[in-house]
Amino acid sequence: MRLKNKVALITGGGNGIGRETALLFAREGAKIGLVDNRDVDGKATVKMISELGQEAIFIQADVSQSIDCQAMVSAAEKEFGKLDILFNNAGIMHANDGDALETEEAIWDHTMNINVKSVFFGCKYGIPALRRAGGGSIINTASFVALMGAATAQIAYTASKGAVLAMSRELAVVHARENIRVNALCPGPLQTELLMNFLNTEAKKQRRLVHVPMGRFGQAREVAQAALFLASDESSYMTGTQFLVDGGITAAYVTPE
């Protein structure tokens, strides 16, 4: 088992990438602190983990709130005695997120609060826990759009993921000598509820797919496999990376400097 005796805290674990990662980490031996703002989804994931014969707790939290993020880290440490892996995965893509002219300030602020402040708060309270454990791995979910513009306008989401990527690099450099690794996981377009609700017409889906060399949307389980690598000791010499799982889209469109 690649995560035997490890404790992982996963935000946004009620569905999509978070759920698939929680289940995979559990199968690989980790104990899971499962965080979500929706108790039905979060508890359902915990039940799935329990059915695998592994340990998990559900922690309901609004990750845009400092007090909730402090509490989720404390809950994981209290239940399992330590924290080895922090996966800051929770995020939103608002249906009314568009270009700079269309997007309302409230949508911008809400997106930044969920997608960026949550990562800041997760690290603010998670890093001391990782120190107490002697080090560990932080994985922050960014996106391929942190590296290139999206074909369908989503200015707040794109800016938020650029911020996550930049924050991850800074944290990686600052904490590299503490045995704390920080990497940004950058998925491409995925067939998840989050993206499919945003690409809510066939025309929007095709406009995105035409740019993907593999010609299909990725699956959440494929991103979970990448998260497993970053969480495990197999990636022990990796920190500060933009770990792309994107069907080749950035290779096709991003020119190296």
Q: Any idea what the CATH number is for the domain that residue 165 is in? A: 3.40.50.720
pLDDT tens-digit readout, 117-173: 999 999 999 999 999 999 999 999 999 999 998 878 899 999 999 999 999 999 999
pLDDT tens-digit readout, 87-115: 999 999 998 999 999 999 999 999 999 99
Confidence at residue 257, expressed as pLDDT on a 0 to 100 scale:
63
Residue at 256 is within a domain:
no
What range does the domain containing 154 cover? Answer: 7-190+219-244
157 tagged catalytic: yes
Q: Say what the pTM is.
A: 0.95
Confidence at residue 192, expressed as pLDDT on a 0 to 100 scale:
80
Residue at 28 is within a domain:
yes
Q: Which of 108, 105, 112 is nearest to 91 (CA)?
A: 112
The residue annotated as part of the active site, out of 125, 157, 237, 253, is 157
Residue at 2 is within a domain:
no
Place 24 in a pLDDT band, splitting at 50, 70 and 90.
very high
For 157, 195, 210, 226, 244, the CA distances from 198, given in Å and listed in that order, are 11, 5, 17, 24, 21
Residue at 97 is within a domain:
yes
pLDDT tens-digit readout, 30-41: 999 999 999 999
Residue at 201 is within a domain:
no
The answer on pLDDT for 200 being more than 90 is no
Q: How many domains does the chain have?
A: 1
Confidence at residue 222, expressed as pLDDT on a 0 to 100 scale:
97
For residue 122, give the amino acid letter: G
On the 0-12 / 13-18 / 19+ scale of CB atoms within 10 A, 23 is buried
Question: SS3 for 158?
Answer: helix
Contact of 157 with 145, CB cutoff 8 Å? yes
Place 50 in a pLDDT band, splitting at 50, 70 and 90.
very high
Distance CA(21)–CA(137), nearest Å, equals 14
Cβ count within 10 A of residue 104 = 13
Residue at 257 is within a domain:
no
pLDDT tens-digit readout, 1-14: 999 999 999 999 99
Mean of the pLDDT values across residues 215-239? Answer: 97
Distance CA(39)–CA(56), nearest Å, equals 14
DSSP of 84-131, one letter per residue? -EEEE------TT---TTT--HHHHHHHHIIIIIHHHHHHHHHHHHHH
Residue at 30 is within a domain:
yes
Mean pLDDT, the chain, integer: 95
The answer on pLDDT for 199 being more than 90 is no
Residue at 137 is within a domain:
yes
pLDDT tens-digit readout, 14-23: 999 999 999 9
Confidence at residue 96, expressed as pLDDT on a 0 to 100 scale:
93
